[in-house]
Amino acid sequence: MVSRRDFIRISALGAGAIAVGAGAFKVVKALSSPEEVKKLVVDLRRTPTYCEVCFWKCAGWVYKTSEGKIWKIIGNDDDQHCNGRFCPRGTGGVGMYYDEDRLKTPLIRVEERGKQVFREATWDEALDLIAGKMKKLSADYGPETMALFTHGSGSTYFTTLLKAFGTANIAEPSYAQCRGPRDEAFMATFGEEAYSPEITDIRDTKCLVLIGSHIGENMHNGQVQEMSDAIDKGATIITVDPRFSTAAGKSKFWLPIKPSTDIALLLAWIHEIIYNEYYDRKYVEKYCMGFDQLKAYVSEFTPEWAYAITTIKPDLIRKTAKEMADASPAVIVHPGRHVTWYGDDTQRIRAVAILNALLGSWGRRGGFYRPSKFALPASAIPAFKAPAKSWQDLFPGKYPLASSPVSNALIDASVPENNPAYPIKGWFVNGTNLIFTIPNQANTLKAIQNLELLVVVDTMPMEITGWADVVLPECTYLERYDTLRAAPHRKPAIALRMPATEPLYDTKSDYTIARDLSKKLNLADYFPFEKQEEMLDAQLKKAGSSLEEMQRIGVKTFEREADDLYFSDNEDVEFSTDSGKIELFSAYFEGAGFDPIPKYTPHEEPTEGYYRLIYGRAPMHTFSRTANNPNLTDLMDENTVWINPMVAKEWGLKPDQYIWLKNQNDIISDFPIKVRVTERIRWDSVYMVHGFGHAEKKLKRCFGRGVSDTQLITNVLVDPIMGGTGMRSNFVTFVTEKTEEEAAL
Amino acid sequence: MRYAMAVDTRKCVGCSDCVVACQTENKVPIGFCRDWVVEVMDGTYPQLEMEIRSERCNHCENAPCVRCCPTGASHFVEGGIVMVEHSQCIGCGACIASCPYDARYPHPDGYVDKCTFCEHRIKNGLTPACTAVCPTKCLYFGDLDDPNSDVSVVLKKRKYKTLIPEAGTSPQLYFLI
């Protein structure tokens, strides 16, 4: 605190007097040297972690107050994911720990006087019950009847457990509900995926093209930071979005496209780049195959053709194609992340990949770099027995090119009417709120009604927990060790998460839960370490570090083995595709019965009085999981529906008025949503942030706040290539008053 | 010494990280904030412009809050930072009414609170929490009397404006445009 003596009073004397006053300032304290500051910052009360609020997994430090209470989380300067700067969600991660609505003890569903309720249970009871039921299910149907739905750090342990149990039905909704089409499209084109964090070299790019990708609103930390660096360096940003996104506000060119027509725009760009000979000829000749077929295919797709479809003026299509070409190869047509929109998403991202190939950006500075990942020594556990039946066997021939299990296929296989080849009767759910994650909620609930066991592991009483037979409360990431983070990046690196404090309430880490359950399933060999820190220490020692060292530094970055971040001039590159080349024409797709070059297909349009429902992210929230976080709710506590002023006028809607939304299948939102009248959205669409409208009353802070987009997504366009669930073909209208009948629903 | 901050509106994405970092750093109670984000839209679809600003106390050279404070709780310290001495504040709210930027709030403990430019951090050679955390690096802090400080350098390079200059308070928060 500053002593009274240092006060300087000025009256209304104006600026001249300030200069006089300035001379009278007393030096409070000499500023410390950087070394002293460093010492000051290396505080014994800080412990390393990496963030679990989203998948970017930034490494940071947890600081505690002198009373030992968790105080704040600050980014680790040595971490490539965050460069010492956490995003709002990471900074607000403390709220996950302090949220008083957390799950506090194991719960078991019981019947009391004809009503189902949860009763509190001990861990032993809960795990005994689960192990008993799993064994019975295995005896009745085979172990493949168990499915795991998982997201985040806990995946590792529950995957090990379920594989050891004998099932490979392990799905991450981050595949079929999010980035799956992108992975398959990039694999088919370059033989490699776009990774997480994405290998986009944004910091050195001269031109960044975003197609519906709203960097800055999606707070993928390193990427947001690099976009800002690129702005500083004068890079051109081109944004394609029916909504004036934050990124659009930073863009030299904003293409306010008619929703669902992106492939037409991409084909026109490809046409322009080929027929104006803008493409990187040397690169294409050396690395690509199928150019002639592509050239012949796109001959008709002129900007004029695309204008009629996309509403983007031909001149703007030409100008932006030229802009990309001028920046080539330092140009990124961003692959996006949540790309399950219209059911032809793999093909749309194939067009993105092809465009990048023509511009020669893959493997080039300012385009896509080659990632390097630290190879962690694995701990010795018994080999998994190959399961007798795979997820592909459930519906033979469906989603033939999916390289990961498709969550919605596992859900469909839990509904007997769908005639799966064998039944899915047990679900283990960790870190994903399937009610908000999977579109067509009625289908998910029908599947749940047919289960004999549903186990949910979470920190919060999310909607899915309400359907569980057993709820297991995990502690937050701030209270536990986890596997080392070793993600691909410019340099290989590892990061440690360790507990900043003991777990609150009767909660346990995912490792402990999986290990204890493995004992009850006679699978303890798969968890040879009683304590996770012993496993980490053994692993780190093999890697030339130690637990002690990592506790001190948090992140360890290594040099790349070779100087090969980008292709060198004339380097011979063998791509992991069938041809060993970048495939502009995909024989692999053609062989499986799909278009070898992306095709534009018109999609359904809203009928009169209905508007296309578009959803996205807010920078301070992750999925539906942070809606109750006290710190983050303080920044944003409900979503709003964005409505164009012309539409609002037509409907007589006023700003801040609460309305309900009704979709094309007459589903009316559970809760009302606040109207935001804004020029930032097209007249044929409405927009809302995903993750609100929680219907679980135990989430006291966010219950009934805003609307769940997932509830209104009942028309799902499934990508036949890989099973992705296209979710942007739903149309809503406005309901200003609910009828009694509707209110009763 | 004259501390000031510049906010690059071309880079700010309005993520509110500055807000939550300030709240945790300074233990600001939930429901209150010392800094906030403003979005200003202009135009008609699709001819639109948007400015996003991270705002806070302007640490005015001619600060009405200091002038009107009946107890002297609001005062200047080294570098022109406007501070509130909590123990001397009677919570009368005169300063809240006088501030053209609405930068002050009544703390539930009975005093008025606001941005301090993280005086406790800058004394130790660190930057304010908002500046240190900002993922877009859109906040520049430093001493205007030092021509090499981050804020001096960026103000030399770029066009900028201040908010409500007509109030005559000589604000020290600069917005790069």
Residues A584/A293, Cβ–Cβ less than 8 Å: yes
- A400 in the Ramachandran plot: left (φ > 0), alpha (ψ -120 to 50) or beta? alpha
Are residues A246 and B50, on separate chains, in Cβ contact within 8 Å? yes
pLDDT at residue A43, as a whole number: 53
Which mean pLDDT values do the consecutive 10-residue runs of chain A (745 residues) have? 32 30 33 47 77 98 94 97 98 98 97 90 98 98 98 96 98 97 98 97 98 97 98 98 98 98 98 98 98 98 98 98 98 98 98 98 98 90 94 96 97 98 98 97 96 98 97 98 97 98 97 98 96 95 96 97 94 97 98 98 97 98 97 97 98 98 97 98 98 97 98 98 98 90 68
Q: For position A42, what pLDDT does the model report?
A: 47
Question: pLDDT tens across B25-70, in order?
Answer: 999 999 999 999 999 999 999 999 999 999 999 999 999 999 999 9
- CB proximity B128 to A under 8 Å: no
Q: Are B124 and B1 in contact (CB under 8 A)?
A: no
pLDDT in the model for residue A44: 57
pLDDT score for A35: 52
Helical ranges in B13-160 per DSSP H? 17-25, 64-68, 94-98, 119-122, 129-133, 150-157
Half-sphere exposure of A403 (CA within 13 A, CB side): 14
A392 interfaces chain B, CB cutoff of 8 Å: no
**Average pLDDT estimate for B134-156:** 98
Strand partners, A663: A732
A67 to chain B, minimum CA–CA distance in Å?
14
Q: E strands within chain B?
A: 3-8, 36-44, 47-55, 74-77, 81-84, 105-106, 112-113, 139-143, 160-161, 173-176
Domain boundaries, chain A: 101-172+404-410+419-474+509-527, 177-370, 611-744
CB A474, CB A507: distance < 8 Å: yes
Q: Which two tokens stand for residue A733?
A: 């209208």
CA distance B62 to B169: 5
Distance from CA of A69 to the nearest CA of B (A): 12
Beta-carbon contacts of A392 under 8 Å, excluding residues fewer than 6 positions away, are A398
* B135·A682 Cβ contact <8 A: no
Q: What is residue A509's DSSP assignment?
A: -
- CA neighbours within 13 Å on the CB side: how many for A582? 27
Of residues A650, A665, A647, the one with CA closest to residue A711 = A665
B80:A18 CB<8 A: yes
ipTM for the whole complex:
0.96
Distance CA A526, CA A519 (A): 9
* pLDDT tens column, B115-137: 999 999 999 999 999 999 999 99
Interchain CB contact of A473 with B (< 8 Å): no
Helical axes A345-358 vs A180-190, angle rounded to 10°: 40
Question: Which amino acid, residue B127?
Answer: T
**% of chain B surpassing 90 pLDDT:** 100
Binary contact (B48, A680; C-beta < 8 A): yes
pLDDT of residue A738: 81
Q: Is A34 an interface residue toward B (CB < 8 Å)?
A: yes
The verdict on A140 touching B (C-beta cutoff 8 Å) is no
Angle subtended by helix axes A262-275 and A303-310, to nearest 10: 170
Residues of B in contact with A99 (CB under 8 A): none
**Cα diameter, chain A:** 88
Q: A627-663 burial, b for 16+ CB within 10 Å, e for fewer? A: bbbbbbbbbbebbbbbbbbebbeebebeeebebbbbb
**Residue A224 contacts B where some CB pair is shorter than 8 Å:** yes
Q: How far is CA B22 from CA A643, B18, B121, in A?
A: 32, 6, 12
Residue A532's contacts (CB-CB under 8 Å, 6 or more residues apart) are A480, A481, A482, A509, A511, A512
Pick the CATH number of B3-176 from 3.40.50.2300, 3.40.50.300, 3.30.70.20, 3.40.50.150: 3.30.70.20
Give CATH for domain A177-370.
3.40.228.10
CATH topology of domain A101-172+404-410+419-474+509-527: Rossmann fold (3.40.50)
CB A605 within 8 A of CB A599: no
pLDDT given for residue A73 in this prediction: 98
Find where tokens 């403990």 sit: B109
Close Cβ partners of A67 (under 8 Å, ≥ 6 residues apart)? none
Residue type, A143: P
Q: What DSSP character marks residue A562?
A: S
Which pair of tokens denotes residue A375? Answer: 């190879």
Written as six digits, the tokens of A540 are 């780190």
Nearest-CA residue of chain B relative to A219? B15
CB nearest to B170's CB, from A15, A247, A256? A15
Stretch 234-253 of chain A: residues touching chain B, C-beta under 8 Å: 244, 246-250
For residue B54, what are its two tokens?
Answer: 């991270």
Q: What number does CATH give the domain A611-744?
A: 2.40.40.20
Instruction: Using DSSP, state whether A294 is helix, strand or coil.
Output: helix
pLDDT of residue A379: 78
